[in-house]
């Protein structure tokens, strides 16, 4: 359904909203490669915070903690969001425990 929205409209904002929601769904379905590809297709700057937060979640799920940290930092640079800050803090604790 979300893929149909992307394909059937010329409204870039609507396409990007559908892509954000599709990427979240793909993350939940453990379709990590597809989620990253969907995120990469998002255009414009209005969705950077959401795009990078979801990218961070995908990268954590894939075990790429350093890249996930970078994505969360980019998300926070675009928009101050307490939930992303909590994920970044949790990730820092996870990385510290893995280092010891």
Which range marks the domain in which residue 9 is found?
2-99
Domains contained in the chain, number? 1
Q: What is the pLDDT of residue 6?
A: 81
Q: State the residue for tokens 């995908």.
A: 58
Give residues with Cβ within 8 angstroms of 46, minimum separation 6.
Answer: 13, 16
Q: What is the pLDDT of residue 8?
A: 87
Token pair listed for 1? 């359904």
Q: What is the pLDDT of residue 3?
A: 83
Q: Which residues of the chain have pLDDT under 50?
A: none
Q: State the residue for tokens 């075990």.
A: 63
CATH number, position 73: 1.25.40.10
CA-to-CA distance for 91 and 28, rounded, in angstroms? 19
Give residues with Cβ within 8 angstroms of 41, minimum separation 6.
Answer: 6, 19
Q: What is the pLDDT of residue 1?
A: 79
Give residues with Cβ within 8 angstroms of 72, minimum separation 6.
Answer: 52, 53, 56, 84, 87, 88, 91
Q: What is the pLDDT of residue 100?
A: 77
């Amino acid at each position: 359904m979300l893929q149909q929205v992307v394909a059937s409209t010329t409204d870039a904002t609507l396409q990007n909203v559908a892509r954000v929601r599709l990427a979240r769904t793909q993350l939940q379905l453990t379709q990590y490669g597809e989620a990253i590809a969907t995120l990469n297709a998002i255009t414009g700057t209005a969705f950077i915070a959401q795009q990078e937060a979801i990218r961070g979640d995908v990268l954590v799920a894939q075990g790429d903690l350093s890249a996930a940290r970078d994505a969360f930092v980019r998300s926070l640079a675009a928009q101050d969001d307490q939930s992303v800050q909590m994920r970044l803090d949790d990730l820092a604790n996870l990385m510290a425990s893995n280092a010891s």
